[in-house]
Structure 1
Amino acid sequence: MKFVTGVAVAVAVSFATLSIASGEDASHAAAANAALCPADNGGLILPRGFCATVFADVEGAPRHIAVAADGTVYLNAAVRQGKAADGPVVGLKDTNGDGRADIVVRFGGDVPGGTGIFLYKDWLYVESRGQIIRYPRKDGEVALQGAPETILKDLPIDGNHTARSFAIDAQGNLFVDLGSATNSCQQDDRVKESPGLDPCEELKTRAGIWRYDANKTDQVFSENERYATGIRNAVGVAFDAAGRGYATQHGRDQLYENWPKFYNSEQGSELPAEELVLLQEGGDYGWPYCYFDGTQGKRVLAPEYGGDGKAVGQCADKLPPVAAFPAHWGPNDVKIYDATQFPQAYRGGAFIAFHGSWNRSFGPQAGYNVVFQPLADGKAAGGYMVFADGFRSGKDGVDHRPTGLAVGPDGSLYIADDAAGRVWRITYRG
């Protein structure tokens, strides 16, 4: 699918464009040169000048990542049913500088694992099935021993999209994603030609971003803290150096399967676009009434609410994305690159981990990569590029699915895979 150029729509560019155009000197590669670079880049395909090592292989399904100022890496990595473990949180440390973790510990006991994880002040915040808890942490500590405190509880966990990603801004505001419980707020979820509920009562407690205080314990979820609405499932939330908040949006499913009188199989695979949105307090991004059509470059009315693939209606007033990406790729994390190790062209832009599709009705499944989207002043600054690929090679008898990202204190990029439990560390060597 080729997106039209225009408002908030990104177009793929080649691997080489950003790295060649940057004109960086070799000083930014100094830290990366200390690590060995395997010839196969840990199985990944990267732009020229970049190097990947397999940082760790862990038991379970690592979701999001947090990296401390001392280089300790933390994963929210629930262990699959029937497997023994010492907890859902994994601490990793590379003590000899070879790009691989030589300390691997688990903690958290029988606390359920989840998706979100974040370091703020002297605490490690972890999402754990309907709540967000935090562990006290001292500099240099890998396995955290203190009892956790509850920051936020009673988050809704019914229906679809129960992964709770979150981020904390510089002011201590805790922003939490609550994905929708349904696909498109139909009277009968995912049933052919079932009309949409209007109003969609689900929006009171789902399909948006909620804001809380990261410094306050024992907060209880309520409708009143909703910050933004109409975001079907924002598995990635991040802030840039200027304090702007971004979120990814998983587009809805089953346009063709449920509404074949308006869409053919190919359209069902190519619509709707996945999105990167700029968060605004009180902002409405359209779900379930609207979806973003990357070919037309605009939000259009969903068929559950009278749309036919062309009508705009109430969607004219919904906020557009910053950038749009191919349908069903599944954006599961986003990180703004605010470090200096990578070339200048990457600074201030967004890395997005795409989990990969499962529901493209026409042609092969797609995604399973990490892309880079240039940004400037809260807007797309050109098209996206596929930065890291090769996850779905089937090498070693397994597929890898990117799901978490983090930027280390030295500017290295970490990628987590929840299909095979692998974590990569990417550095720039020049």
Structure 2
Amino acid sequence: LDPCTELETRGGVWRFDANKTNQSFSPAGRFATGIRNAEGFAIDATGRVFVTQHGRDQLHTNWPELYKPEQEATLPAEVLLLLKQNGDYGWPECYYDAFLQKLVLAPEYAGDGGKTIGVCANKVGPVAVFPAHWAPNAMVLYDKTQFPERYQGGVFIAFHGSWNRAPYAQGGYNVVFQPLDGDHASGQCEIFADGFAGAVKSPAKAAHRPSGLAVGGDGSLYVSDDIRGRIYRIVYRGSPDAAAPNVAACPSAAAPAGDIVEQPAQPPEGTHPDAGKAATAALPIPEGATRERVELGERIYRGQVGGAACTGCHGDSGQGTPLGPALTGKNWLWSDGSYAGIKKTIIEGVSQPKKYRSPMPAMGGAQLTPDQVSALAAYVWSLGHRGSSSRN
């Protein structure tokens, strides 16, 4: 959609006064916009705010006519942003192409695989870029003195690790150091700590995955792991004036995907490739749909097709969450629960929820085809009519 209604309530950073109470969330408090999944935050002594951004996924899966299979693994870059008041960093119209070294127009907005820049020429670019899909989950500015002076003023970033670089080698699962000089990068990032994943870097086989960072009062660096709940403490033993060690530079964000080493990714992360198949086979089918359409709708619901995962707000089985209502009961907030009514709600979205705090953008914020909308509606209808007679 243009303008994107998502940007009214998300996709940005809002500013609040820590010394005031009873503040309200409103567009007036938005500090910066156009940011997709700002996970890591760091604020330096001058008040500059840096954030890491997770880049988008599945460009080849959704637009095979525009992107080669290997570009699924290499586009777009993960980025480090320096926030400016009223800055617009491009999402959802743009993404950063490290090979072209610029923001380019996204396919939903008439992008053509990187050739067209369009409105992206007026967006704010990144401070530093990293390989695609590494997942920068946390960041911390180093302002202590335990580590050598070269680390002071730079940022450590915990990369949770990729899932969708497959069938090429996965990346991340490490902690990197990005040197900064004021408001810009002063060199390529370096691998600071690695080996968390163990023998295999993949979501299913990784022994540990870095997910959080903190700097202790004594200058030690703490790294949390969300696989087995460990916390690592990294300390420096040596002279503060020691020469810079031989460190491994981060791979270039414009490096090729490499050799095929595993089976293609099964998105989204954490979803088994066969998840829901048995349950879907037992679901009823609305009049005018088919079993195949319900199965396609289930894949769209889970984000495997179309790029509009519904599970984040409605739950993996339609059971509902604090963000969105259950889809498994008889009470419908925005339609009569009919197949046609559900399709209408999906197409129009819900900008002002009645009971839940998260708006639903039209078509889940994706550009679904009419057939995909019908399939998704068929699956949602089936969830709400589970237990009724099935038309096979």
Normalised by the size of structure 1, how large is the TM-score?
0.53
Q: Alpha-carbon deviation of 1:223?
A: 2.4
Q: 2:97 — aligned with what?
A: 293
Separation in structure 1 between the aligned mates of residue 17 and residue 108 of structure 2, nearest angstrom: 37
Question: SS of the counterpart of 2:219?
Answer: coil
Check conservation: 2:196, 2:206, Cα contact below 8 A.
no
Q: Alpha-carbon deviation of 1:244?
A: 0.9
Q: Alpha-carbon deviation of 1:394?
A: 5.4
Matches for 1:371-386 after TM superposition, within 5 Å = 371-386=176-191
Is 1:303 the counterpart of 2:107 in the alignment?
yes
Greater relative contact order (CA < 8 Å, ≥ 6 in sequence): 1
Among 410, 413, 419, the residue aligned to 2:218: 410
Separation in structure 2 between the aligned mates of residue 322 and residue 204 of structure 1, nearest angstrom: 25
Matches for 1:12-411 after TM superposition, within 5 Å = 197-308=1-112, 309-393=114-198, 399-411=207-219
Separation in structure 2 between the aligned mates of residue 375 and residue 220 of structure 1, nearest angstrom: 34
Is 1:425 the counterpart of 2:233 in the alignment?
yes
Considering fraction of residues, name the structure with more strand. 1
Check conservation: 1:265, 1:361, Cα contact below 8 A.
no
What's the CA shift string for 1:312-356, capped at 9, x where partnerless? 111011101000000000001111111111011111001001111
Q: Alpha-carbon deviation of 1:287?
A: 0.3
Check conservation: 1:398, 1:420, Cα contact below 8 A.
no
Separation in structure 1 between the aligned mates of residue 207 and residue 175 of structure 2, nearest angstrom: 15
The aligned amino acid for 1:391 is: F
The aligned amino acid for 2:115 is: K
The aligned amino acid for 2:168 is: G
Q: Alpha-carbon deviation of 1:267?
A: 0.8
Q: Which runs of 5+ in 1 are unaligned?
A: 1-196
Separation in structure 1 between the aligned mates of residue 52 and residue 144 of structure 2, nearest angstrom: 21
Normalised by the size of structure 2, how large is the TM-score?
0.58
What's the CA shift string for 1:110-138, capped at 9, x where partnerless? xxxxxxxxxxxxxxxxxxxxxxxxxxxxx
Question: SS of the counterpart of 2:191?
Answer: strand
Separation in structure 1 between the aligned mates of residue 74 and residue 160 of structure 2, nearest angstrom: 16
The aligned amino acid for 2:134 is: W
What's the CA shift string for 1:211-268, capped at 9, x where partnerless? 0012233433222211100000111111012221100010011111101111111111
Q: Alpha-carbon deviation of 1:393?
A: 0.3
Question: SS of the counterpart of 2:70?
Answer: helix
Q: Alpha-carbon deviation of 1:361?
A: 3.7
Separation in structure 2 between the aligned mates of residue 214 and residue 354 of structure 1, nearest angstrom: 29
Q: Alpha-carbon deviation of 1:364?
A: 2.1
Q: 1:190 — aligned with what?
A: none
Separation in structure 1 between the aligned mates of residue 124 and residue 27 of structure 2, nearest angstrom: 21
Check conservation: 1:353, 1:371, Cα contact below 8 A.
yes
Q: Alpha-carbon deviation of 1:398?
A: 5.8
The aligned amino acid for 2:37 is: N
The aligned amino acid for 2:157 is: I
4+ long deviations beyond 6 Å = none
Question: SS of the counterpart of 1:235?
Answer: strand
What's the CA shift string for 1:80-104, capped at 9, x where partnerless? xxxxxxxxxxxxxxxxxxxxxxxxx
